[in-house]
Structure 1
């Protein structure tokens, strides 16, 4: 396994981030969602490097095979961890791709670190601009929704993850967009996260207001969101992004659930390749025009 050191935790323990680095060419950094690991990008890691791209995916602290820290589950720290990845690998002209919670890292990195080394950014099913319901964000979700998630995790984390996975991929009584094997794979990946990180990151992605961070974005920006996303509804996230990033291109995937990196993998791969300027040869889906 390959690791990048991202400083130390409050107890002086080295924080090591598990990562993979595939292909050569334009650097693309993939940032995973909660509560998975970088391995959720299986189909992107298998395809994007075929088109002249160097694709790096890493696992945030507390998840997968990265260091299980007690502290540091806030977006300032997570943005600093992303900086450690870019600096350690000395990446330039990077495309950052943040899925769900990972969209928060993209937004906070761009404001906190001035967008250093980054050429363009993509938000996929992202939690930005702000999920929590407040007086000035009335369309957000009430705090009790996120409290309920943490309560479920504490009561039976494994049962919670099983139910969460079905909603994540839009599985219902008559809808089965992914196989049982895929659900099992996702659950096993999420179970590797520490209970502490799993809980703390709920409050991080729920309560962090990225609206000011997004106003710092000056680079080309792509926003992709599924219209049937029940985990992070498009109306409070993806559809609102152009309010804060007027130059962003918003692409709605009609009928797609939250986990569109699996259910819409061919279309997503094509749209990402088009966004970074790679040559696309597959005819599996029609890419957006940029």
Structure 2
């Protein structure tokens, strides 16, 4: 299914099941298909599951602009309004979590029941005087240079680290190839621009202002968004948040720890 945003971009979304709505925001460079192991679980338990392919990703249009987090948040708002969703649970992974934080900051929580930040690139990745734990700008520039030189090689290097297979997480070569294919099918322009936008976005004030219930889930072995500068700090900033940390999980915990994640999400929604 498709809908059109106010700027004329055609975005793809999918909706399964009936009941209380859950909107899943995908990771950077991945489409809504990444949530395969969550959708079936929640539909079978009476929920409506909605996924969005952000612009430049999956089956959506690939315009030249709109890859900042404000535009992403506005696209999410447009989908929520298009479907007329209320009391929706928002679940975002990695950059999808950052987009949801920006959505709440720009559009408020009038339609939102709760939000879950999964391996989210929050609260602020860039190193500054008041954020000395962050990564230097040079690290971002080096990654962008690798994209320009050999983007498939960069993604291929991340696969084992992404799933933390060195800790015994069982991920088949076929599943890794499937995930890699999703990343490489994403617009190269969108890949670079969203990566850059997420790196520079400061969500600290927005996180402190959240008033709906929040679940933060992160892997202790996450090499893409190190837990000490992301998950733990996010949980500390959000008033009354619930924090879950998986000792053997990397960034791709929605696959490697799907059962544990699904159970935690379900308990959070029911709670």
Counterpart CA distance in 2 for 1:245 and 1:230 is: 23
Deviation at 1:263, TM superposition (A): 0.1
Where in structure 2 are the equivalents of 1:1-290 lying within 5 Å? 2-8=1-7, 14-172=8-166, 175=168, 177-277=170-270, 290=271
Counterpart CA distance in 2 for 1:274 and 1:41 is: 18
Counterpart CA distance in 2 for 1:70 and 1:228 is: 35
Deviation at 1:145, TM superposition (A): 1.7
Deviation at 1:176, TM superposition (A): 5.4
Taking structure 1 as reference, are residues 201 and 211 closer, same or farther at Cα in structure 2, changes over 3 Å only? same
Deviation at 1:157, TM superposition (A): 1.1
TM-score with structure 1 setting the length: 0.91
TM-score with structure 2 setting the length: 0.97
Deviation at 1:243, TM superposition (A): 2.8
Counterpart CA distance in 2 for 1:137 and 1:17 is: 35
Deviation at 1:164, TM superposition (A): 2.0
- Deviation digits for residues 110-164 of structure 1, max 9, x if unmatched? 1111123001000000001111111100001111222121111111111111112
Q: Contact 1:110/1:116 (CA < 8 Å) preserved in 2?
A: no
Counterpart CA distance in 1 for 2:29 and 2:195 is: 9
Deviation at 1:175, TM superposition (A): 4.7
* Greater displacement, 156-165 / 249-258: 156-165
Counterpart CA distance in 2 for 1:231 and 1:117 is: 31
Q: Contact 2:29/2:57 (CA < 8 Å) preserved in 1?
A: yes
Q: Contact 2:22/2:48 (CA < 8 Å) preserved in 1?
A: yes
Instruction: Flag as ranges the 4+ runs of structure 1 deviating above 4 A.
Output: none
Deviation at 1:5, TM superposition (A): 1.2
Gap runs ≥5 in structure 1: 9-13, 278-289
Q: Contact 1:120/1:220 (CA < 8 Å) preserved in 2?
A: yes
Q: Contact 1:228/1:257 (CA < 8 Å) preserved in 2?
A: yes
Q: Contact 1:168/1:257 (CA < 8 Å) preserved in 2?
A: yes
Normalized per residue, which structure has more helix? 2
- Secondary structure (helix, strand or coil) at the match of 1:7 reads coil
